[in-house]
């Protein structure tokens, strides 16, 4: 079962169970997915769904920060609960070891030797990591460390 179908199934279950927060959060997700589907004029893949979820998660995190700064802890708490629901649909993040292994493989495949090769290596690694939960900044740190150690 795809991620989009799982969201739809959970939405219906939340409606039946009268879980207001879960219903409103999943309704928001479904709307965002529908907008993306219409904009791209095609059915969404799981990678597309994850990308939409990441965007919604980023919005929630920013809102939480803004509400805390604005002295509105009750609204920050609501956003935090929505954030927890959204994060439940993301796959488990990759471990450091898995990322390092993938970076090493990509460097070997491309024959990268210096930091000048970082751009192509990053592009290839991020393409392989599409649909995974990983911070680009962390991947860049690992690539930089591997390429700088191979220069010496």
How far is it, in rounded angstroms, from Cα 31 to Cα 56? 11
* Cβ atoms of residues 139 and 122 within 8 Å: yes
Query: Crossing angle for the helix pair 46-69 and 73-87, nearest 10 degrees?
Result: 160
Each residue's pLDDT tens digit, 15-36: 999 999 999 999 999 999 999 9
Give pTM, 2 decimals. 0.72
The CA-based angle 147-148-152, given to 5 degrees, is 115
* Cβ atoms of residues 91 and 50 within 8 Å: yes
CA neighbours within 13 Å on the CB side: how many for 86? 27
Average pLDDT, the chain: 90
Each residue's pLDDT tens digit, 78-129: 999 999 999 999 888 788 888 889 999 998 888 888 888 888 989 998 888 8
Domains of the chain, each with CATH number or no CATH: 3-87 (1.10.1510.10), 96-151 (1.10.10.410)
């Amino acid at each position: 079962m795809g991620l989009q179908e799982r969201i739809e199934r959970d939405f219906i279950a939340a409606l039946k169970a009268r879980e207001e927060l879960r219903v409103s959060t999943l309704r928001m997700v479904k709307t965002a997915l529908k907008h993306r589907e219409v904009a791209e004029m095609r059915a969404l893949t799981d990678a597309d769904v994850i990308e939409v979820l990441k965007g919604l998660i980023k919005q929630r995190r920013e809102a939480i920060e803004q509400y805390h700064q604005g002295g509105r802890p009750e609204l920050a708490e609501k956003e935090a609960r929505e954030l927890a629901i959204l994060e439940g649909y993301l796959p488990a993040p990759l471990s450091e070891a898995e990322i390092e292994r993938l970076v090493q493989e990509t460097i070997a495949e491309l024959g990268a030797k210096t930091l000048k090769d970082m751009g192509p290596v990053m592009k290839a690694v991020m393409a392989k990591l599409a649909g995974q939960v990983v911070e680009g900044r962390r991947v860049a740190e690992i690539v930089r460390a591997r390429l700088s150690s191979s220069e010496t």
